[in-house]
Every structure is written in structure tokens, then in C-alpha cells.
Amino acid sequence: MSSNIEEITLVTGAERHGNASAQIDWILTDSRSLCFPEETLFFALKTKRNDGHKYIDDLYTRGVRNFVVSTLPENIARYADANFLLVADPLKALQKLAARRREQFDVPVIGITGSNGKTVVKEWLYQLLSPERIITRSPRSYNSQIGVPLSVWLMNEHTELGIFEAGISEMGEMESLTPIIRPTIGVLTNIGWAHQENFSSLQDKCMEKVQLFKDCDVIIYNGDNELISSCIAKSLFTAREIAWSMKDSERPLFIEKIQKDDTGTTIKYRYLGFFKEYRIPFIDDASIENSLNCLAVALYLMVSPELIAERMARLEPIAMRLEVKEGKNGCVLINDSYNSDFASLDIALDFMARRSEDKHRKRTLILSDILESGQTSKLLYRQVADLVHSRGVNRIIGVGKEISESASRFEIEKSFFRSTSELLESGILNGLRNEVVLIKGARAFHFDTITDLLELKVHETILEINLNALVDNLNHYRNKLKRQDTKMVCMVKASAYGAGSFEVAKTLEDQRVDYLAVAVADEGADLRKAGIQSSIIIMNPEVTAFHTMFDYKLEPEVYSFHLLEELIKAAEREGVTNFPIHVKIDTGMHRLGFAPEDMSRLVERLHRQSAVIPRSVFSHLAGSDDARFDAFTRRQIETFEAAAAELQAGFNHKILRHICNTAGIERYPGAQFDMVRLGIGLYGVDPFTNKMLHNVTTLKTTILQIRDVPAEETVGYSRKGILNRDSRIAAIPIGYADGLNRHLGNGHAYCLVNGQKAPYVGNICMDVCMIDVTDIDCKEGDKVIIFGDDLPVTVLSDILETIPYEVLTSVSNRVKRIYYQD
């Protein structure tokens, strides 16, 4: 659904500069996601870290002609055929525009908020309600100040029901989301500790969330939750309430009985005097609660209990992940098992297009029919084809009747199949070589069979890396910076603390961090070859690798006169001038660095050459994570400041100063200077408390075999695993060669099997080890967590009397890394 530029000017209250006519279909807030320039309106948003105005010129060159800005470009005459809508705050303008779109629809809209479960409830409601209704919903978990307007903008003339989620992280944010969503049906999933930093209490956060329901006809929530009930009562809304309860039979929706068995849960309820039941194929409490919220909505929308039961039984887990996996024959697989709709296809194609290291590889899309879009299939697939062409896909493999009928619209290499099994039988998947393959299908098409076939299976032990958590941690520390313009170096040395340097670097680059740092030149060169363009510091530059550094623009740390002389010599030989270097000063760590007294000699030496130029000056704290060393740390900082001042005095250009590592950022905010260096915090460990932030890495494996072993027997090498009872022993395919420290064996530590602790029995072997599952309900093939969300890596490092850094970096290369983002 498009809007013309006059109308948008009016709605946003903008001052318009330029008078070209324009119809707007697409809204863009991230310049990298540009797809259809002519019909796009770009909002130049200013965030803490970035300013959209910087991208106007580039976007103009790529064909965009419509911009919402808070300052006009200086050389506006250069953009004669463009429209600039000048507003005080482009984000507010975006929100107003979305609110206006919402106003045009008199359809029921479900607004979902809460700490967890929003996306699952949204998707399940979609599964429960969609066949009869054309639904517009938030793509993935677009629920922020920017995500909500972008979601609501998707409403169009076909929309019969809207489902949108709203997430907030600060007071006052719901006030701006409420008029955009304007829900008629409000759902509060639950209130927990997520995003608590900016709220003084849970109560505050809850009160803020319920503001979404101001003008609802009905509010749905867990009536047994006292906090939620009291917040809703205090808000004095006049809406009808469906507060479901397991305790209070007076409530309109009373949950009489919840019965779990091996394969699912049966739930009996009473609504308006009727006794009914349904069943879901899940047994965890979160799923049960999510289903109850969905039940209440469906009942309110007068879906019959029989239909509800039928569809509840078929609910599917929500795989929110966009996974990157290694495929067979050199392929990279991007697996997006999220629902296949147009908006999420756009996001997935954008994700594929941005993997710049794969630029030279062929890009193949395997796509099923897009179901229930409400559009005619002719129009829909014309749009899909446009999208596919403009996102640089080289080949499409379509699966399904409808997409096959639109085959002629795709002007690239193509093949089409009526069904998934027809595709599998065709054998063409075996011919994929060195391609990037995006796999995206509606549930009914069971594309997991395709992923199974294409996936490279080497070893059943994997390290999963949650890229969203990484970004959350980055932002956690960014928020601790006292000044917005303080720069940040992210440490990706040692394969990003074991997480894998490319994907991590790519994610950080997307977040526009100022610098990446690796240990040696080869690590940096690998990142460059893979397409990373950010500035990179080499912490341990080898004299033999200067050439590589010049070639790939990798900026060395320089810590001694000897190294400096070698570097200057090499640079002069290659005709390199003004190459940036980072001067390290030893202020008490006594590892590497110039002595503070060396500064005048260093300045003098640097003046006598033009091969290199100091870009930054830094030092490293020896004990910033320990209060016992506070006096020492302060002395280090003072020494550093004086030495850095001496170096700076010798030069006219600004030399960046930095000394804080993760613990320093938090504990010595006064020492953040011009830049900080974030390491372990990025990977989820707070080095001061040894507590977890957002967990990034999960090491997991699966049970290979289970056997009953009588009490008098022993388990493993040297008969170390002595049993004191008849036991059930499981073997799992992970050993010390994978990085599972041998000292964890013999009952010193445990792993998790189905959420329960299973101690290691006997010596850990090279490739396998044994665990005691006598008290755990489990079977061969079940997942085993070595460390992760519920078993923090710090538990293992404590047992080993080491630091989490060591455990994280010990996971060996043969353990496959799998990356995902929500």
C-alpha cells in the first residue's frame, strides 16, 4: 500500500524542500537494506552511535530520492530532483506516519507485550487464526521504537487482523508505541527480569507495559500473577478483562487441569460455563502459559473450542533463528525456518546479501509457496521476483504449485518443483557447489528435510553462538560509556574468544564498532580476505609479517624500539608512508610496552621518519577486575595519562588514548579516555562479578549410547569411574581433544541432560566421555549441554580454578560453530 509524498509531508508535519512527485511503498532506516530506491522513503535517524544523515549521499547515488531529515544537507542544490522532509525528530516522524496508517484500519488488532513469549504468542496466534483471516503481523521480533512502526506500516488493504508485539527497555517508551499499534485486544504475556536495567522496579516496568492497553476492548493476562493483576487494577482501564486463572474458579477463564505426559500436555478449561479441553505437543511451562494466552484470544474472537483444539494440537515450535551452517561441497547454508511470508523473506535475503565475504559465490534461494498472504498470486510473485532480482540472487529453486506457476517471472537461473519430495528426488541438490544457499519454506513444506540433506555432518558436538546476545552485550558496555563519542575496540583475538572470528567480526562491523583487534597478522589477514573492512589492530605483530600488515592495512601495536626500527625499515623498503601504529606503554603489567620514561626518545625517533604515525597510545591494566588492586590500578592510570600527554605534546594530530579492558570500563569510568577495549564482556562474562551477562556460547552434544552398569563394575580408563550403585551410564562424543578439560572428570563437574545435572564419571577420554544419568529421564540422541544458558561457563572455570577466558578459548577447532540470530 503506498502513500504519496504530499500526504506524508502533512502527516509528519514536515517542512518540505523539493517538489518532485513520489509514491512511497518502502520505508528504510538502515541504508544497507535498500532494495527499491525509487519507491523508498529514507528516515535519517540519529542514534547514540550513528547518524543516518551520513548515508544520504550514498543513497542518492543509488537512486533514493525521498528523505526525512532533521538537518538539510549543506549542498542541497546537488540533489535537485529529491524531496527532503525537514522535521525536528525523524524517529517521531516515522512513528507518526505509522500511527496514521494504523488509523486507516478499522480491524481488530492484537497488541502483545511482556518480558518473554511475545514472539511465540504472536506466531501461535497466527497459526491458530490465520486460515480464515488475512493477518498482518510483526516480522520476526520487530518490537522496538523503530521495529513497531516498520511492522504497522505493513498493514494494507487486505489486512483483516493485525498482530503486533511491543518491547520496551525504558520508561516512557510505551507511550510512543501505543498510538502506533492501538490494540483492540491486549495481551500481557508475563513480567520478568529481562531489560530491567532502566526500571527502578518490576512494578514500574509492569505499569509502563500495561499503558499499551489504554484503549483496548479487552485485556488478556495471567490472573494468578499478583503483580500483573495489581498493575492492571491500578491502571483503572474500563476494558473487559480475561484474566485466566488456575486457582480462582470465579475467573471468566478457569484452567481446571493441566496434565503432562510424554508427548504433550492436555489442558481442561471452563469458559462461559462450558467445559472444554485441548492439547498441545509441548510439555514445558512456558509453552503452556503461552498457549493459555492464545486460548483466551481465540475464545474472545469466537473461534469455536473444537477448532481451537484441532489447531492447538498442531502448533509448531517457533524457530526464530536465522542459522548459518556449513554445507556439503563447500556450500554455506542460511537456514531460515521462520514462517515464509514476504516481510521475512525480505529480511532473510537482506541477511544473505550482506554476507560480503560471499560476494563472489553464487547465491541460491530455495523458496516454497508463500501461503496466506491475501494477495493474488500473480501480484505476490511479481513482488517476490522483484525482490529476488534486486537482492542479487543468482538462482532460484521454487517449491510448490503457486510459485511454479509464476516461474516465468524469475529472470535468473531457475528450477521449479511441485513438492519438496519432487525436489529431493530430482537430485539437483547434490549438484550445489560452493554456493550460499538460503533455505526458506512455509512449515507445510517441511524444508528441514532439505537442510538435513545439505548439511555437512562431521561431529555431533557443536558450539552455538548467539549473535543477538553478542550485540546485547556490546550495547550493555556501550551504555556504560560516559561520553557518546568514546570509541571502542572489540577484541576478536583467539578466534573471538573461541566464538569464531569471522561471524563475530561481521556482526560487530554491522554494529559499526570503531576497531577490531586480533593477536597476530594472519588472523587479521583472514578477516580481510573474508571481507571485513573495519580498522584492525594487531596486538602481537610479528617482524616476519609486516608485509601482510601493509598489504591488508592491519595496524600494529608497537611496544619497543626494536620493533619500531624493524617496522620503519620494512615500511621504507616498501615505500609505505604514514602507516598507523598503536603505541603501547608498560605501566605496571610488565608484559610488553615502552617504559613511560621512553616518551621523549620515542617522540624524537618518530619525528625523524615518515613511514609510521601514532594513531593511538595505550596501556593495559593488570588487575582492574579486583578491588584489592584498586590503588595499583589508579597508579597505572596516572602513569599512563602522564606518558600519553608527553607523546601527544610531540604531535599536532590527535592521538587516541585507551587503557580500559572490560572490567576497567565498568570500574574506572573516569579512565575511559578516548577509547576502550572490550573483550570478555562481549562474550557474556562480567569479569568483576564472574556472573553472566547475555550468554553467547553454548557447547552442546548428544548422547551416543546408554547402558546399565552394575555397582561392582567401573567406567573408563584406569578403572577410575567407581560406582556406588547400579547405574545408567551415557557416553557422549566430547573429550579433552574437543576442549573438555580432563580435570572435570571423576565427578568434579557435571553437564546438563534435559535440564538435570549429570556428573562426569571416570576419566574424560580424548574424544568421548561418560556421564551418570541414573536419575535422569533420557534416551540416546538427547541433547547434552556442556556449558550454556543454564550452566554458565564460569561454573566450569571455578571448578578448574581458572578463568572463563581459558575455558572459552579451549574449545577446539574441530567443534563445529553454528551461528544464529533471532
Give CA–CA dist 291/302, Å, rounded.
Answer: 16
Q: Does 804 bind ligand PLP (CB under 6 A)?
A: no
Contact between 239 and 216 (Cβ < 8 Å): yes
Smallest distance from ligand PLP to CB 648, Å: 20
Smallest distance from ligand PLP to CB 37, Å: 41
Q: Does 677 bind ligand PLP (CB under 6 A)?
A: yes
Cα separation values, 654 from 489, 550, 648, Å = 17, 22, 7
Interacting positions 141-180 with ligand PLP (CB under 6 A): none
Size of the site for ligand PLP (CB under 6 A): 11
Give CA–CA dist 372/133, Å, rounded.
Answer: 9
Q: Does 657 bind ligand PLP (CB under 6 A)?
A: no
Give CA–CA dist 717/640, Å, rounded.
Answer: 53
Asked if residue 1 belongs to a known ligand binding site, the reply is no
**Which of 480, 493, 700, 816 is an active site residue?**
493
Rule CB under 6 A: choose which of 83, 130, 265, 662 binds ligand PLP. Answer: 662
Smallest distance from ligand PLP to CB 65, Å: 45
From the list 460-468, 474-482, 676-684, 810-818, the region that binds ligand PLP by CB under 6 A is 676-684
Rule CB under 6 A: choose which of 539, 568, 696, 793 binds ligand PLP. Answer: 539
Task: Tell me which residue of 23, 3, 21, 1 sits closest to 11, measured CA to CA.
Answer: 3
Smallest distance from ligand PLP to CB 576, Å: 24
Smallest distance from ligand PLP to CB 191, Å: 33
Cα separation values, 404 from 310, 339, 444, Å = 30, 19, 16
Q: Does 794 bind ligand PLP (CB under 6 A)?
A: no
Contact between 428 and 409 (Cβ < 8 Å): no
From the list 436-444, 672-680, 723-731, 778-786, the region that binds ligand PLP by CB under 6 A is 672-680
Q: Which is nearer to ligand PLP, 225 or 662 (by Cβ)?
A: 662
Q: In whole angstroms, what separates CA 597 from the centre of its chain? A: 45
Smallest distance from ligand PLP to CB 679, Å: 2
Please enumerate in sequence order all residues whose Cβ is within 8 A of that of 195, keeping only pairs 6 or more positions apart, or say none: 115, 167, 168, 169, 205
Q: Which is nearer to ligand PLP, 353 or 539 (by Cβ)?
A: 539
Question: What would the DSSP string read from start to end of 450-488?
Answer: HHHHHB----S-EEEEEHHHHHHHHHHHHTT-SSTT-EE
Q: Which is nearer to ligand PLP, 539 or 647 (by Cβ)?
A: 539
Collapse the DSSP code of 280 into the 3-class scheme (helix H, G, I; strand E, B; otherwise coil) and give the result.
Answer: strand
CA angle, residues 201, 207, 213, in degrees to nearest 5: 155
Please enumerate in sequence order all residues whose Cβ is within 8 A of that of 131, keeping only pairs 6 or more positions apart, or say none: 372
C-alpha cell belonging to residue 531:
571481507
Q: Does 491 bind ligand PLP (CB under 6 A)?
A: yes
Residue 398 DSSP class: E
Beta bridge partners of residue 772, listed in sequence order: 729
C-alpha cell belonging to residue 266:
492436555
Rule CB under 6 A: choose which of 140, 620, 667, 694 binds ligand PLP. Answer: 620
Rule CB under 6 A: choose which of 73, 108, 679, 792 binds ligand PLP. Answer: 679
Query: 591-599 long-range contacts, Cβ below 8 Å, gap at least 24?
Result: 591/620, 592/557, 592/559, 592/560, 593/559, 593/560, 593/619, 593/620, 594/559, 594/560, 594/561, 596/639, 596/640, 596/642, 596/643, 598/561, 599/643, 599/646, 599/647
Please enumerate in sequence order all residues whose Cβ is within 8 A of that of 274, keeping only pairs 6 or more positions apart, or say none: 305
Q: Which is nearer to ligand PLP, 186 or 681 (by Cβ)?
A: 681
Q: Which is nearer to ligand PLP, 191 or 521 (by Cβ)?
A: 521
Q: In whole angstroms, what separates CA 779 from the centre of its chain? A: 32
Smallest distance from ligand PLP to CB 657, Å: 13
Smallest distance from ligand PLP to CB 534, Å: 17
Q: Does 680 bind ligand PLP (CB under 6 A)?
A: yes
Smallest distance from ligand PLP to CB 797, Å: 13
Residue 14 DSSP class: P
Q: Which is nearer to ligand PLP, 381 or 787 (by Cβ)?
A: 787
Q: Which is nearer to ligand PLP, 620 or 816 (by Cβ)?
A: 620
Smallest distance from ligand PLP to CB 758, Å: 31
Longest CA pairwise span in the chain (Å): 91
Give CA–CA dist 127/112, Å, rounded.
Answer: 16
Task: Tell me which residue of 279, 339, 342 sits closest to 312, measured CA to CA.
Answer: 279
Residue 493 catalytic? yes
Q: Does 684 bind ligand PLP (CB under 6 A)?
A: no
Q: Which is nearer to ligand PLP, 251 or 677 (by Cβ)?
A: 677
Q: In whole angstroms, what separates CA 573 from the centre of its chain? A: 45
Can you list the alpha helix ranges (DSSP code H) found in 501-650?
501-510, 521-529, 546-552, 561-574, 599-607, 630-649
Rule CB under 6 A: choose which of 636, 661, 697, 727 binds ligand PLP. Answer: 661
Smallest distance from ligand PLP to CB 508, Å: 14
Asked if residue 766 belongs to a known ligand binding site, the reply is yes
Name the residue with the smallest CB distance to ligand PLP: 679
C-alpha cell belonging to residue 329:
561441497
C-alpha cell belonging to residue 687:
569479569
Rule CB under 6 A: choose which of 687, 762, 792, 804 binds ligand PLP. Answer: 687
**Which of 48, 691, 717, 779 is an active site residue?**
717
Q: Which is nearer to ligand PLP, 182 or 677 (by Cβ)?
A: 677
Residue 328 catalytic? no
CA angle, residues 490, 496, 498, in degrees to nearest 5: 155
Interacting positions 50-109 with ligand PLP (CB under 6 A): none
Q: Which is nearer to ligand PLP, 1 or 627 (by Cβ)?
A: 627
Q: Which is nearer to ligand PLP, 147 or 681 (by Cβ)?
A: 681
Q: How many CB atoms are closer than 10 A to CB 524?
A: 31
From the list 450-458, 520-528, 675-683, 760-768, the region that binds ligand PLP by CB under 6 A is 675-683
Q: Which is nearer to ligand PLP, 399 or 678 (by Cβ)?
A: 678
Q: How many CB atoms are closer than 10 A to CB 669?
A: 15
Please enumerate in sequence order all residues whose Cβ is within 8 A of that of 737, keeping only pairs 6 or more positions apart, or say none: 766, 767, 812, 814
Can you list the alpha helix ranges (DSSP code H) found in 301-341?
305-312
Collapse the DSSP code of 227 into the 3-class scheme (helix H, G, I; strand E, B; otherwise coil) and give the result.
Answer: helix
CB-side neighbour CA atoms (13 Å) of 471: 14
From the list 277-285, 423-431, 671-679, 735-743, the region that binds ligand PLP by CB under 6 A is 671-679
Smallest distance from ligand PLP to CB 805, Å: 7
What secondary structure, in 3-state letters, does 124-191 show?
Answer: HHHHHHCCCCCEEECCCCCCCCCHHHHHHCCCCCCCCEEEEECCCCCCCHHHHHHHHHCCCEEEECCC
Instruction: Tell me which residues touch ligand PLP (CB under 6 A).
Output: 491, 539, 620, 661-662, 677-681, 687
Binding residues for substrate: 591, 766
| Residues carrying an active site annotation | 493, 717
Binding residues: 591, 766
